[in-house]
Amino acid sequence: MNTQSQAVSPAGVQYGEERVYPLNKLKKSPRNVRKVGHSEAEIEARAASIQAKGLISPLVVEPELRADGTATGYGLVTAGEGRRLALRLLAKRKVISKTTPVRCLVDTVNDPQEISLDENVSRSALHPADEFEAFRDQAERRGLGAEEIGARFGVTAAVVRQRLRLGAVASDLLDVYRQGGLTLDQLQAFAISEDHARQRQVFETLTNRQPYAIRRAMTETTALVGDRRVTFVGLPAYLDAGGTILRDLFSEDDGGYVEDVPLLDRLVAEKLSALATEVRETEGWRWTAAYLDYPHGHGLSRVYPRQVVREDAEQARLDALRDEYAALSEEWGAVEDLPAEIDARLSGIEDALAASPDVAFDPAEVAYAGAMIILGHDGAVRIERGLVRAEDVPPPPAPEEEAGEGEDAGDGEDGAPPWDEDEAAGAEDHAEPDEPEGDATAPLAARLVADLTAHRTMAMRETLARSPDLALVALTHALVLRAFVQYGAMPTCLDIRLTSYSLSGEADGIDGSSAALAVAERHAAWAAHVPTDAADIWAFVVGLDLDSRMSLLAHCVGLSVNALHGYERRPGAWAHADQLAAALDLDMADWWSPTADHYLARVTKAHTLAAVREAVSPEAAERLRGEKKDALIAAAEPQLVAARWLPKLLRTSRVEPDGPGEALGEAQAPTDPKQAEPDALEEVRELVAAE
């Protein structure tokens, strides 16, 4: 058994002799070079291996000696401390006894510290690719499952599944990995799919071999399980229809991909179409259409629900129900478990009020308008009602025939040509004293009409400038016409235009943002009260109280804001946008967050690290510097959102007024625009009170 030299130690034990020590007679050598102990996971793995296969390699020990050179009976473990700790763990768990005999190799010739150092330095770790293939061989040749393999090697079944998936990558790509041509992250990206042909095709054709690019190429015919279409249809419905899921074993959330995208699209289309049919049949629209995305640039006009006009008795009934509901809520609001009769009464009132809404579409408009059923960015359905196709627009009522000044300078009552200004001047020079006076109802010459109305226009400009309150009314009237009247001539003498640039094509999902939803809600609330006949809007605006009129004006002006940095250079507009944002005290952190979709996944790692450095701390950024991009985004996103960090384009500069000319920022501009301007529902309530 002893193949080494026969040198004899002071204790009389030959060098290289094998000896069996009881487990409780083994100690860690004080000359072991490893100061950082083995991790719990390492000890667990070795314990699992020993339990499954026994102790493959003996421990190297030296006998413990007393001061007089006699042996104590204990062995000091020079090499194999991790195995000793694993054996002690098994003994603690009662798998083996504390006195279990342990095979050891006694070395009293070599320096114990050198042995310990050699044990930890000279060995070569198995290449990961060899490890992956070895795990695959255990599964295929021996038929072991992931749980059993994990138990035999002290790792979780999830880790085994990852290694089996990596071992199933095309052999030529594993060879490239062995030679250093691929990183582990890149290999994991290829391993998303077990299609070897696809792996080789992507490897040969893809120039950008970043892991995210490989993963995207490997899954370009799939959809994430978090896709809005999957959210809408439901994963169980997709699986019940025969769909399959490709799991990404290397993502922290155990994400996956829907492999049968055509099936998913068919399920989405069927469900949206069914909803469109249901909306058309239950609500009576002329047409409904289902869309996966909002069809921007559809060119349709729109009608809005209006305030419902009721008989006095019906209105009194509804008011009484509201009063009763408010009284019951106040009386029983603090009670957690309501009596059955009170709960039933509150539910009954809610149903009655819901059946008689305060605003509703005109049935005549429903008969020629339609609705779009659209899948939102979050997988929820959005219904856009009241859309009118050009061919369905009813013809405007014929204008009443009126005669008077400024009308069509056509033929007179007797069929004679219109009065000519030059002829009139000549006739005046040569008129005889007894010339007839002529027809007082004849239209005036066009030049004279222009002359007179030019003077009237100039006088109106001057007098309107002296009446700021009336100027506000006229401005509001002109803007309301542009914002709410869909077609026909605009009955306003103010040459004011209002345009609202569509932002839908500039930012994904912007129509579902909190700001866009608030604008749409306010617009619909006002549209319920603005008259449908453009000729009646002047009286409507005049009849508003000052606060309501100012709120309506602010809404219309707000629709015209365009601070977009697009292909067209507008430095003056951009500078004014900064000034306006400062006057509004705009804080974009109330409306936007630096999430992965909004920002982090669309910028470089350097941008993300710079944001963390600025918003959190330089130390936090340094800790994340070595992370891969996906892990970096996952770690940075919650920190940046919590810090309300904003990129420079979204920050508002605080500008101090230079003098009295800029006093608006202090005296009139509110510090919190959301507090100064009532919300849409409050506006409507004020408007109803004013009427």
Answer yes or no: is pLDDT of 415 > 50. no
pTM for the structure as a whole: 0.50
- β-bridge mates for residue 570, sequence order: none
301 located within any domain: yes
> Please, how many CA atoms are within 13 Å of residue 111, restricted to the half-sphere of its CB?
5
- Residue 464: the pLDDT is 64
Per-residue confidence (pLDDT) for residue 493, from 0 to 100 = 75
Tokens of 613: 């450095």
Give pLDDT, residue 56.
84
Listed in sequence order, the residues at least 6 apart from 258 whose beta carbon sits closer than 8 Å to its beta carbon are: 222, 223, 224, 225, 227, 230, 238, 243, 244, 245, 246, 264
Residues 6+ apart with CB under 8 A from 659: none
Q: Is 639 among the domain residues?
A: no
Burial class, 506, CB count within 10 angstroms (exposed 0-12 / middle 13-18 / buried 19+): exposed
450 plus 482 within the same structural domain:
no
Question: Which of 61, 89, 121 is the last residue in one of the domains?
Answer: 121
Query: Could you give the number of structural domains in the chain?
Result: 4
Please, which residues have CB within 8 angstroms of residue 355's CB and are 6 or more apart in sequence?
Answer: none
pLDDT at 512: 75
- Amino acid at residue number 245: I
Query: Same domain for 447 and 540?
Result: no
Summarize the confidence of residues 15-25 as an average pLDDT: 84
The reply to whether 33 falls in a domain is yes
Contacts 24+ apart (CB under 8 A), 65-70: 65/10, 65/11, 69/10, 69/11, 70/11
Strand partners, 359: 307
Mean pLDDT across the chain, nearest whole number?
79
The answer to whether the beta carbons of residues 655 and 664 sit under 8 Å apart is no
Taking the C-alpha atoms of residue 650 and residue 507, their distance in angstroms, rounded to an integer, is: 14
**How far apart (Å, rounded) are the C-alpha atoms in residues 384 and 305?**
12
Considering the domain architecture, whether residues 49 and 74 belong to the same structural domain is answered as yes
Lowest average pLDDT, out of 313-327, 335-349, 437-451, goes to 437-451
Q: Which phi and psi angles does 75 have, rounded to 5°?
A: -110, 135
Q: Are residues 521 and 458 in the same domain?
A: no
CATH number (domain holding residue 41): 3.90.1530.10
Of residues 213 and 10, the one with the higher pLDDT is 213
Kindly state whether residue 237 falls inside one of the protein's structural domains: no
Whether 563 and 671 map to the same domain: the answer is yes
| DSSP states of 335-402 | -SS--HHHHHHHHHHHHHHHHS-SEE--HHHHTT-EEEEEE-TTS-EEEEEEEE-GGGPPPPPPPPP-
**Residue 627 counted as domain residue:** no
Summarised one tens digit per residue, pLDDT across range 310-322 is 888 988 998 899 9
Q: Is 497 within a domain?
A: yes
Residue type for position 289: A
Top mean pLDDT of 282-286, 552-556, 649-653 is at: 282-286
Q: Which of 118, 120, 152, 117 is nearest to 134 (CA)?
A: 152
pLDDT band, residue 669 (cuts 50/70/90): very low
The answer to whether 154 and 49 have CB atoms below 8 angstroms apart is yes
Q: How confident is the model at residue 286 (pLDDT cuts 50, 70, 90)?
A: very high
Q: Return the percentage of the chain with pLDDT > 90, whole number.
A: 16
433 versus 6: the higher-pLDDT residue is 433
515 vs 119: which has the higher pLDDT: 515
Backbone region of residue 585 per phi and psi (left: phi > 0; alpha: psi in -120 to 50; beta: other values):
left
- Output the pLDDT for position 127: 83
Q: Which tops the pLDDT comparison, 650 or 9?
A: 650
Domain boundary among 121, 136, 160: 121
Residue found by looking up tokens 């004293």 in the block: 433
d(CA 570, CA 629): 35
Same domain, 555 and 672: yes
The verdict on 342 and 491 lying in the same domain is no
pLDDT band at 457 (very low <50, low <70, confident <90, very high): low
Residue 668, pLDDT above cutoff 50: no
Length of the chain: 691
pLDDT digits (tens, 9 = 90+) for 404-413: 444 444 444 4
DSSP notation for 203-226? HHH-S---HHHHHHHHTTTSEETT
Q: What is the span of the domain harbouring residue 460? A: 421-426+443-466
Shared domain check, 449 and 386: no
Among the candidates 88, 121, 154, a domain finishes at 121
Least confident of 255-259, 485-489, 668-672: 668-672
pLDDT for 501 beyond 70: yes
Same domain for 673 and 530? yes
Please state, in angstroms and rounded to a whole number, the distance separating the CA atoms of residues 435 and 443.
20
Q: Which of 17, 30, 35 has its CA nearest to residue 112?
A: 30
Q: Is residue 448 part of a domain?
A: yes
Geometric angle at alpha carbon 355, from 351 and 357, rounded to 5° = 115
pLDDT of 376 > 90? The answer is: no
What's the pLDDT band for 611 if we cut at 50, 70, 90? very high
Same domain for 462 and 484, yes or no, is no
Is the model more confident about 466 or about 586? 586
Model confidence at 624: pLDDT above 80? yes
**Structural domain includes residue 372:** yes
Write down the pLDDT at residue 1.
39
Among the residue ranges 22-26, 143-147, 487-491, 634-638, the one predicted with the least confidence is: 487-491
| 22 and 115 housed in the same domain | yes
452 and 386 assigned to the same domain: no
Q: What single-letter amino acid sits at 168?
A: A
77 vs 447, higher pLDDT:
77
Residues 6+ apart with CB under 8 A from 517: none
